[in-house]
Structure 1
Amino acid sequence: MNLFRFRLKELREEKNISRNDLAEILGVSTQTIANYENGHREPNFDTLLKIADFFGVTVDYLIGHSDFRTREEEFKGKNFYEKYKLDEVIEVSLDSESKAILGNILVNNVEPLIRNISGILYQHTFGDEKKDFFTLFKKLLDSLNLYFGSLLEYTKKPAYFLALKSDYDPSYALKLLFERYGFNNVVSNYKRNSFMFEKKMDDETITKIISELQETSLFLISLLKPQGEVLTSMRNIEAFYLNNFEENLVRILKLIGAVQGIVDISEISNIKNINKEGDTDGSQDS
């Protein structure tokens, strides 16, 4: 139960309840809860079941035998590998914690996104302008696919690790790069910026490494294009709604004003201007 004390505290804090409140729910003392979280004491099986039921997690998760909180998460997370053929994308074997993190993101973030996209598409299966909307929305999905596909290609490059830390020692970074090209026992002297290799590095390999560094930096810059296409697609969808809504709203208000004599069209606020004034998403034209 090495992880139990950490997971109990994490779950309790997530639920925002005190040790005293949890102790009352479980029928134990506050000091007992403190002992659980400090690692000085472990619960019996009955109490463990109560804790799992209260927080809606499995006993295996509580005691650290699984990184999935529920059986449903575990089932869905593992099935994602087959459903989306992730083995074709993920080239290395993941440990259980990494699989749980990935599985939880897929279940809790990607699946709801797919449902929302499906719902939006269904809402537009009716009406005369459905083809216009479908064209705009498909463009957005194509742009997102292109962006993340490009990003995936970037992460496969040997020099990708340079983007992961802000304080790489240049000598250490080169050592990692050499090792990725098969020079596994590189000994480096950081102060003198010198290296010793188990085998001689040929000119071709050195050229490849330099080329890799240059290509990686240029590749990051190339991501700006698909990023711009995503933003443009989103703005086009937004404009599709705003233009139609504003035009039809004005028509309706004019009709009401003509019938009732109570609406002054000159006082109707321009929806586009209101939207621009209230726009706080921080986006910028690229």
Structure 2
Amino acid sequence: MQSIYQRIEHLIESRGMTKKAFCETLGISTGNFGDWKRGKTTPSTNKLIEIAAFFSVSLDWLIIGKGNPTRVREARGEYGVDSESSDLPLMSGLAENEKEFIREYIEFSAYRKEKRND
């Protein structure tokens, strides 16, 4: 059975990110990340929620590892990111999966900003 760390590592690799970039993006110290790897500690509940939101996976899968890392979708309009964003000149030459990555990043950034303001 995979650990929470192993599932996070799988998500990082599947996204094509480095572990350093992941830590910087989510505000995780590399020391804490190393502690997760060694099994010394596990991410806090709030951090697990952030990680699940960032990778658009279910929190259940991230914590328990049962089933597939099903992508969770929220209504795009909630954060003001919709299909019209694809029409932006900067995005016109990008592949659909690259556009989706950018949309997800914008949604995650809005989510983090909202959480900081709570």
Provide TM-score, normalisation by structure 2.
0.53
Equivalent runs, 1:13-92 vs 2, <5 Å:
13-70=13-70
1:9–1:37 contact (8 Å) kept in structure 2: no
Kindly tell me: are residues 17 and 46 of structure 1, through their superposed partners in 2, closer, same or farther at Cα, counting changes over 3 Å? same
Equivalent runs, 1:89-104 vs 2, <5 Å:
none
CA distance in 2, matches of 1:57, 1:14: 12
Kindly tell me: are residues 16 and 34 of structure 1, through their superposed partners in 2, closer, same or farther at Cα, counting changes over 3 Å? farther
In terms of Rg, which structure is larger? 1
Kindly tell me: are residues 29 and 13 of structure 1, through their superposed partners in 2, closer, same or farther at Cα, counting changes over 3 Å? same
CA distance in 2, matches of 1:66, 1:55: 16
Identity %: 30
2:56–2:71 contact (8 Å) kept in structure 1: no
Unaligned 5+ residue runs, structure 1? 73-286
Q: For residues 91-129 of structure 1, what are the alpha-carbon distances to aligned partners after superposition, in whole Å with 9 as ceiling and x for unaligned?
A: xxxxxxxxxxxxxxxxxxxxxxxxxxxxxxxxxxxxxxx
Aligned length: 72
Provide TM-score, normalisation by structure 1.
0.23
> Once the 2 structures are TM-superposed, how far is the Cα of residue 28 of structure 1 from its aligned partner?
1.6
Equivalent runs, 1:112-261 vs 2, <5 Å:
none
CA distance in 2, matches of 1:71, 1:29: 26
Kindly tell me: are residues 19 and 31 of structure 1, through their superposed partners in 2, closer, same or farther at Cα, counting changes over 3 Å? farther
Kindly tell me: are residues 47 and 67 of structure 1, through their superposed partners in 2, closer, same or farther at Cα, counting changes over 3 Å? same
* Larger RCO, structures 1/2 (Cα 8 Å, 6+ apart): 2
1:5–1:36 contact (8 Å) kept in structure 2: yes
1:3–1:62 contact (8 Å) kept in structure 2: no
Q: For residues 9-64 of structure 1, what are the alpha-carbon distances to aligned partners after superposition, in whole Å with 9 as ceiling and x for unaligned?
A: 11111112122111111112112222223322201111000100111101110112
CA distance in 2, matches of 1:5, 1:38: 9
Equivalent runs, 1:2-21 vs 2, <5 Å:
3-21=3-21
CA distance in 1, matches of 2:34, 2:15: 16
